[in-house]
Amino acid sequence: MIRNDWLRAEIQEIYDLPLMDLLFQAQQIHRQNFEPNTVQVSTLLSIKTGRCPEDCKYCSQSAHYDTDLEIEKRVEVQKAIAEAKQAKASGSTRFCMGAAWRNPHERDMPYVLELVQEVKKLGMETCMTLGMLNASQAERLKDAGLDYYNHNLDTSREYYANVISTRSFDDRLNTLDHVRN
């Protein structure tokens, strides 16, 4: 069971462990759950790069900052599938697709659903990170065969406004709820 209700005191306790004790514990848990000397490989493709309306201060893709980033519109499905085939041939078992959006618009949904379906046909796991999702979008991505959704918490609730002003910590939690459901 993966926990998502950690208390700060519990996290602090782990953080304060001597490094070698921490390594020892981590190794034991790793061996209980995974092949000890095998690494699962994923490949990440940016399917839409730059001009993001969000203002995350750590990100070169935000339209709010001048970062000299090469902007790229939506990658064509066939091009993305060619990249996925190449990734599989190189040993990746999971293909991740990321778009610099605040959230996918309804007009983007047929495109992302097709990507998921086509990558699944190759026998790979699929992962996406597209920004905020509503419940219906999460449901449709699941029905298309999406295995994983990446959505970072960014920082703490208290510090959130120092890093991002275009969305709230609760927006983040809402998307995570939809994805978990």
Q: Which residues bind ligand SF4 (CB under 6 A)?
A: 52, 54, 56, 59, 61-62, 100, 131
**Minimal distance, residue 158 CB to ligand SF4, in Å:** 19
Q: Can you name the residues that pair with 128 across neighbouring β-strands? A: 97, 149
User: In terms of DSSP H, where are the helices of 41-153?
Assistant: 77-89, 109-121, 135-144
Instruction: Considering the complex, state which of residue 24 and residue 159 has its C-beta at the smaller distance from ligand SF4.
Output: 159
Q: Is there a contact between 116 and 145 (Cβ–Cβ < 8 Å)? A: yes
Instruction: Considering the complex, state which of residue 104 and residue 131 has its C-beta at the smaller distance from ligand SF4.
Output: 131
**Minimal distance, residue 155 CB to ligand SF4, in Å:** 12
Contacts of 66 (CB under 8 A, 6+ apart): none
Instruction: Considering the complex, state which of residue 62 and residue 175 has its C-beta at the smaller distance from ligand SF4.
Output: 62
Residue 118, Cβ neighbours under 10 Å: how many? 18
**Minimal distance, residue 101 CB to ligand SF4, in Å:** 7
Q: Which amino acid is at 72?
A: E
Contacts of 123 (CB under 8 A, 6+ apart): 88
Instruction: Considering the complex, state which of residue 98 and residue 124 has its C-beta at the smaller distance from ligand SF4.
Output: 98
**Minimal distance, residue 55 CB to ligand SF4, in Å:** 7
Q: Is there a contact between 126 and 116 (Cβ–Cβ < 8 Å)? A: yes
